[in-house]
Amino acid sequence: MSSKNEENNIFNFQWHITERCNLRCTHCYQENYSSLNEMSFEKLRSIADKLIQALSKWNRKGKIAITGGEPFVKRELFPLLEYLNKSPQIANLYILTNGTLIDEKICKEIRRITKVSRVQISLDGACPQTHDAIRGRGTFKKAMEGIKLLTNHGIKVNLMFTLQKCNKEDIPALFDLAIQNRINSLLVERFVPCGCGKEIESEMLSSFELQNAFQYISDRADLEYDKGNKLMVVKQRPLWINVDAERAKVNAKIPIHKQVGGICSIGLDNLTILHDGTVLPCRRLNIPIGNLECDTLFRIWYTSEVLWKIRNKRNLKGKCNSCEFIPVCSGCRAMAYACTRDYLGEDPQCWK
């Protein structure tokens, strides 16, 4: 658990400060949207102190992604960001949002929080037809307006695209949209059928479809990079190594824009906190491992059986167990759990 270089010296938290949301997306990993057990600012601050204490003890810097639900529906969002912004242990803050509530006032507020280095907007299609079918009527237009406002205020925008059968054909146009709108980075995440998303499990891509999608994204990202476009396409995730093992992240000679592959970060440098203090190994691996209202973060991190089982890669099953790419992949544990109820099982979408 000690760290050797700057990258290893980062710990990532994804903090869902509310379950409330103005949208009801078909693939949502939530099951509820109530304000029940939502925390006051005092309680949020107490959780923040626990995170800062842990970072300080571990001599690590924190990157905290604040999200929901929809984070902009919670009035404590900016007071919390301001509080976190003051801590020397916090390196960066991010806001993950559906983008539909962003206005001039919000942009100005974001600009005041110096460590907010990026706002992530979920965009599940490159046109209203695709996006709105998933996220609701009129949401594409609103999200795009949000993106324009942010970029006009000089705030870096990351696009998050949840890849499903119904939107996979939009990927080429998504690249065009990202470049035209001066998007900083693009993250394509696989749809994991959990929460409300269980109802649309058939939207999961087959291994073959996923391979084709990843290959296109990788090739297109290379093309744009070679053309001098600044769009950063995030490929440091499980299964990406299958695209081209020669371009593994561990190969320092490869520019970061062309690197592929990343190990599942569960148990290594990542935790998810829910609106009521519940801690999950990952937002899509819905197995509570403690609650920061009553537990110390240290107790959760050091004693969780789930985390220890996942840390020990010899526990992985199926083709993940004997795979040469374990150090740069290890499969998506949340996907294994969603499809088989065994978080140590093989990644069901792997095409290797």
What is the nearest approach in angstroms of other proteins to the Cβ of residue 303?
Answer: 5
- Which lies closer to other proteins via its Cβ, residue 1 or residue 173? 1
User: What is the Rg, in whole angstroms, of the alpha carbon atoms belonging to the chain?
Assistant: 19
The DSSP string of 88-105 is TTEEEEEEEE-STT--HH
What is the nearest approach in angstroms of other proteins to the Cβ of residue 295?
Answer: 9
- Binding marks (x or -) toward other proteins, 58..77, rule CB under 8 A? x-------------------
In 3D, which of 14, 28, 22 has the Cα closest to residue 101?
22
206 lies in the binding site for other proteins (CB under 8 A): no
Q: Which of 22, 53, 181, 321 binds other proteins (CB under 8 A)?
A: 53
Contacts of 173-180 spanning 24+ positions with Cβ under 8 A: 173/126, 173/127, 174/123, 174/125, 174/126, 175/220, 175/224, 175/231, 176/126, 177/123, 177/126, 178/231, 179/224, 179/229, 179/231
24 lies in the binding site for other proteins (CB under 8 A): no
Q: Which of 44, 54, 80, 335 binds other proteins (CB under 8 A)?
A: 54
Question: What burial letters (b/e) apply to 9-31, b meaning 16+ CB within 10 Å?
Answer: bbbbbbbbbbbbbbbebbbbbbe
- Which lies closer to other proteins via its Cβ, residue 206 or residue 296? 296
Q: Which of 108, 111, 311, 319 binds other proteins (CB under 8 A)?
A: 311
Q: Three-class SS of residue 224?
A: helix
32 lies in the binding site for other proteins (CB under 8 A): no
Q: Which of the stretches 142-150, 157-165, 290-298, 327-335 binds other proteins when contact is defined by CB under 8 A? A: 290-298
Q: Which of 49, 312, 319, 342 binds other proteins (CB under 8 A)?
A: 312
266 lies in the binding site for other proteins (CB under 8 A): no
CB 351 within 8 A of CB 242: yes
What is the nearest approach in angstroms of other proteins to the Cβ of residue 162?
Answer: 34
What is the nearest approach in angstroms of other proteins to the Cβ of residue 296?
Answer: 6
49 lies in the binding site for other proteins (CB under 8 A): no
Q: Three-class SS of residue 149?
A: helix
Size of the site for other proteins (CB under 8 A): 15
CB 100 within 8 A of CB 146: yes
Residue type, 251: N
Q: Which residues bind other proteins (CB under 8 A)?
A: 1, 53-54, 57-58, 296-299, 302-303, 308, 311-312, 314
